[in-house]
Amino acid sequence: MVNSQVNPRRYKDTKTRFFLHWTHQSPGRTRGCYDLDCPGFVQTCSDFIIGSPITPVSKYGTNQFYITITIYKDIQSGNWWVKLQDKDLGYWPSSIITSSGATLTTLTWGGEILNSNLGGHHTATKMGSGRFPGDKFGKSSFFRNLGLIDESNALRNPPNLAPFITSPSCYDLQVQKDTKSKFGTYFFYGGPGRSDKCP
């Protein structure tokens, strides 16, 4: 997993940070970790500090800032590379992938929150900007230019996009496609968490 997150428990603040997380499951054993906390991800570029705050960040109704993330498999080595802002950041070695012939069957993009459901109520944790996707650009959070790199190393539009929303009264998502703009396949997402409609 590669994305941005706010995680006060881990980082002891509420800053938006770039993070990596990986797990590897084998019979009777699961291993993995965040960022560079254990051997696994090999960082090759020192331009970025994994786990560091992202600056600047977008603000509601003002300038919007982007980070570009690409994950791709090197056909020769079998390593899975992470590219951040068009620079190779590092890779997960093929040795921690289930098998050298492993193929990707599912891609996911989106937001996630931890709902501890304290006192029987949904958390007030915001997802994204805390606005529902209907508020659109400049207000709602979004992912743009969704794509996948196929076996021939060509970038393709993701087929069969299927929104998965666990609490639509708390958070929502709207997938859209505009091949004539710089957004390509994209979606707005987010929400405020606990409210009158999300008790």
Low-confidence ranges of the chain (pLDDT < 70): 98-104
What are the domain boundaries of the chain?
1-104, 113-199
Q: With contact defined as beta carbons under 8 Å apart, do 151 and 161 qualify?
A: no
Q: With contact defined as beta carbons under 8 Å apart, do 198 and 170 qualify?
A: yes
Q: How far apart are CA 120 and CA 199, in angstroms?
A: 9
pLDDT tens digits, 94-144: 888 755 455 667 789 999 998 877 788 899 999 999 999 999 999 999 999
Work out the number of other CB atoms within 10 angstroms of the CB of residue 38.
Answer: 11
Instruction: Give percent above pLDDT 70 in the chain.
Output: 95
Query: What pLDDT score was predicted for residue 100?
Result: 43
| Bridging pattern class, strands 42-43 and 29-34 | unpaired
Q: How far apart are CA 131 and CA 69, in angstroms?
A: 23
Work out the number of other CB atoms within 10 angstroms of the CB of residue 104.
Answer: 12
